[in-house]
Chains A and B, each alone.
Chain A
Amino acid sequence: MLTYVAKRLSQSLLTIFLTVSTVFVLIRMAPGDPAYALAGPLASTGDLEKIRTSMGLNEPLFTQYGIFLKELAAGNIGKSYSFQAPALDVVLGRLPNTIFLAVLAILLAIVVAIPLGVWMAKRADTKRELGVNVLTIAGQSMPDFWIGIMLLTLFAVVFPIFPSSGFTSWSGVVLPVATIAILQIALVSRMVRREVGSNLAAPYLTVARARGTGEQKLTWAYAMRNSSIPILTTLGTRFAGMLNGVVVVEVVFNWPGLGSLVVRALETRDYPLIQATVLVTSVLAVGVQLLIDLCYPLLDPRVRLGKVSVA
């Protein structure tokens, strides 16, 4: 148990360390002067000189890295020049809106995808299942921003049921959440189908059936319980991918989260802001995954006793 926790924790730290280092290397490798990139187009020579000394750009690269890490540890990522405020504060201010969307979408996805996936596993390869199967493939194939625009046109313009943008009322949440959830439902239900399907075909289930266990119990208490760990693992890794989708969908709906922020940062070449977004979203994704990883032992006693290693 302890070794398991230590292992997950060290992997998370390693991931964060790699992210931070990559950001450092990228900014130093980019063409042009990093001080110029970080100060923005309006900076004076004095500003540039100040940034150069504060980032230690005249020092050897190794020392620069040390300074970079130290600044980072102090929460100092730089000043966003389009907001004229510390980049980290700007990003953290927007973060709750993004998390809110992500959480609602994942809840909706779980509620729909698990029963759907179980149904698909039980009816595998029948005509009706094939139809649903193709639909889920379609669901994971449509560009998420396009689904968003289509839903927006249908339900905010043609039939004005929901507001078209922003976070003004609860009904404004419906369309963005639905957009994000469509992709997740498609992906998660296919995964549930695969996992539950292989458990339904396992010999232990035949034995249980032969002993007269009811179908409902076979499905939910046996097959689903045994599928829950791989499903949870994948949900953990998928969270990062979902954040990508949330960011794109936010742009479509003018949602005041990280998405519109990052697009604005891109347009104004606001590097500190993008850098802050990279770091904050990475920490968030890694944190969520760590949390899920730490839940395994509750579901699987083998992990608790250190008998099996979960990759």
Chain B
Amino acid sequence: MSTINEIPLAAQAMKRPTAVTKQLLKRSSAARRERSAKVKMVLGAFLTAIVVLPIVLAQVLPLPDVDAQNITSRFLPPLSGGHLFGTDQLGRDILSRVLHGGQVSLTIGVLAVVISGVVGVVLGALAGFFGGWVDAVVSRLIEAQLSLPLLMMLLLVVALFGPSIPVITFVIAIAQWPEPARLTRSLVLVEREKPYVQAAKVLGLPQITTLVKHIIPNVINQVIVVVLLLLATAVLMESALSFLGAGPQRPFATWGRIISDGQDFLTTSWWIVTLPGAVIAILVVGVNLLADGLRDRVRRRKETTA
């Protein structure tokens, strides 16, 4: 951003006539790309924050108890009787349930993404750096997993091992490792050929040190952005699992279950399904926009420094 503003100033200072006006620079494709990346990032950060902050603060906020049932105040529409999002079929406050459900979803999502990110980076880096049979094994595994409709397998795991939070976290982590692994592998493949790796070799650095201390730090930024995108997918996956009845069981209120329970009352009480779904959508749109904008930016920085 700064370079774009500086050029005309520098030109003015030197009093050199130039045909490059500020307007032209503003219309250049680089500036336009920069602007749309920025719009995406700001909008994304805003949308993420309006969902994540209340979820994190759910215990502190003055909300009715998650499980407090009140038969007299069933099916209250939004904005009535002190219920911002209304109440459900048992008179429970929907906002409170959505926020507490969000804590479960976000915990599962973040843990799963961290696990799959670490596994993916380690396996991808090993495959890209050492090649040979390590690469063959990892690549075949990635290909195999990507071509499978994993949801059924995940449902089988949950059915066999029980829908506890660790099982669901593990299941989502396993579903997601190929994405960061594939990216890390392809980035390391490029990085491996660069002169500094040769230099490290000549200096007698052990291969593993070169990989961990020099190659991985150079590629990690791009991988982290993709891992952020995975967080969005993880939240969606968790909500789909709980919608199908394979999510964390009661007493946890989960997003998917709030929606699947509310489905029966759709015709009379639209808000039970609509509002929780809208919250999921806002969060995931926010994370996706943020990651998309960041990715544009990280990529460009890489291009200009390379």
The majority secondary structure among interface residues of chain B is helix
Q: Which B residues form the contact surface with A (CB < 8 A)?
A: 29, 32-33, 35-36, 39-40, 43, 139-141, 143-144, 146-153, 155-162, 232, 236, 239-240, 243-246, 256, 259-260, 263, 266-267, 270, 273-274, 277, 280-281, 284-285, 288-289, 292
CB–CB A266/B159 < 8 A: yes
Q: Give a binary string over A112-156; 1 marks a CB under 8 Å from any B CB, 0 the rest.
A: 000000000000111001100110011011111110011011000
List the A side residues contacting B156 at CB < 8 Å: 23, 26, 271, 274-275, 278
List the A side residues contacting B40 at CB < 8 Å: 130, 133-134
List the A side residues contacting B273 at CB < 8 Å: 146, 149-150, 153
Name the contact of A143 in the complex, choosing from B36, B147, B280 (C-beta under 8 A): B280
Name the contact of A289 in the complex, choosing from B147, B158, B280 (C-beta under 8 A): B147
The majority secondary structure among interface residues of chain A is helix
Name the contact of A141 in the complex, choosing from B160, B240, B246, B281 (C-beta under 8 A): B281
Q: What's the least CB distance linking A112 to chain B, in Å?
A: 20
User: Which 7 pairs of residues, A with B, have the shortest CB-CB distance?
Assistant: A146-B277, A30-B160, A141-B284, A244-B151, A243-B149, A15-B144, A125-B32
Q: What's the least CB distance linking A243 to chain B, in Å?
A: 4
Name the contact of A18 in the complex, choosing from B144, B246, B274, B289 (C-beta under 8 A): B144
8 A–B contacts from the bound complex (CB under 8 Å): A142-B280, A144-B240, A146-B280, A149-B277, A241-B149, A247-B149, A247-B151, A274-B152
CB–CB A137/B288 < 8 A: yes
List the B side residues contacting A181 at CB < 8 Å: none
Q: What's the least CB distance linking B107 to chain A, in Å?
A: 18
Interface centre among A19, A153, A278, A282, by most chain B C-beta atoms within 10 angstroms, is A278
**How distant is the Cα of A146 from the Cα of B240 in the complex, in angstroms?**
9
CB–CB A145/B151 < 8 A: no
List the B side residues contacting A146 at CB < 8 Å: 259, 273, 277, 280-281
Name the contact of B274 in the complex, choosing from A30, A140, A150, A241 (C-beta under 8 A): A150
Q: What's the least CB distance linking B127 to chain A, in Å?
A: 13
Q: Which A residues form the contact surface with B (CB < 8 A)?
A: 11-12, 14-15, 18-19, 22-23, 26-27, 29-31, 37, 124-126, 129-130, 133-134, 137-138, 140-146, 149-150, 152-153, 157, 236-237, 240-241, 243-244, 247-248, 251-252, 262-263, 265-267, 269, 271, 274-275, 277-278, 281-282, 284-286, 289, 311
Q: What's the least CB distance linking A19 to chain B, in Å?
A: 6
Interface centre among A262, A271, A289, by most chain B C-beta atoms within 10 angstroms, is A262
Interface centre among A124, A140, A143, A144, by most chain B C-beta atoms within 10 angstroms, is A143
Q: Which residue of B lies closest to A240 (CB)?
A: B149
CB–CB B36/A248 < 8 A: no
Q: What's the least CB distance linking B292 to chain A, in Å?
A: 6
Given contacts A31-B161, A237-B147, A289-B147, contact A142 B277 (CB under 8 A): yes
List the A side residues contacting B155 at CB < 8 Å: 262, 266, 274
List the A side residues contacting B256 at CB < 8 Å: 143, 145
CB–CB A247/B43 < 8 A: no
Q: Which residue of B lies closest to A12 (CB)?
A: B147
CB–CB A37/B160 < 8 A: yes
CB–CB B292/A145 < 8 A: no
CB–CB B270/A285 < 8 A: no
CB–CB B239/A143 < 8 A: yes
**How distant is the Cα of A1 from the Cα of B27 in the complex, in angstroms?**
48
Name the contact of A125 in the complex, choosing from B35, B159, B232 (C-beta under 8 A): B35
**How distant is the Cα of A286 from the Cα of B146 in the complex, in angstroms?**
10
List the A side residues contacting B139 at CB < 8 Å: 311
List the A side residues contacting B277 at CB < 8 Å: 142-143, 146, 149-150
Q: What's the least CB distance linking B45 to chain A, in Å?
A: 14
List the B side residues contacting A124 at CB < 8 Å: 29, 33
**How distant is the Cα of A69 from the Cα of B70 in the complex, in angstroms?**
55
Q: What's the least CB distance linking A156 to chain B, in Å?
A: 10
CB–CB A130/B36 < 8 A: yes
Q: Which residue of A lies closest to B243 (CB)?
A: A145
Q: What's the least CB distance linking A72 to chain B, in Å?
A: 15
List the A side residues contacting B281 at CB < 8 Å: 138, 141-143, 146
List the A side residues contacting B149 at CB < 8 Å: 240-241, 243-244, 247, 281-282, 284-285
CB–CB A285/B288 < 8 A: no
List the A side residues contacting B263 at CB < 8 Å: 149, 252
CB–CB A274/B159 < 8 A: yes
Given contacts A146-B273, A282-B149, contact A248 B144 (CB under 8 A): no
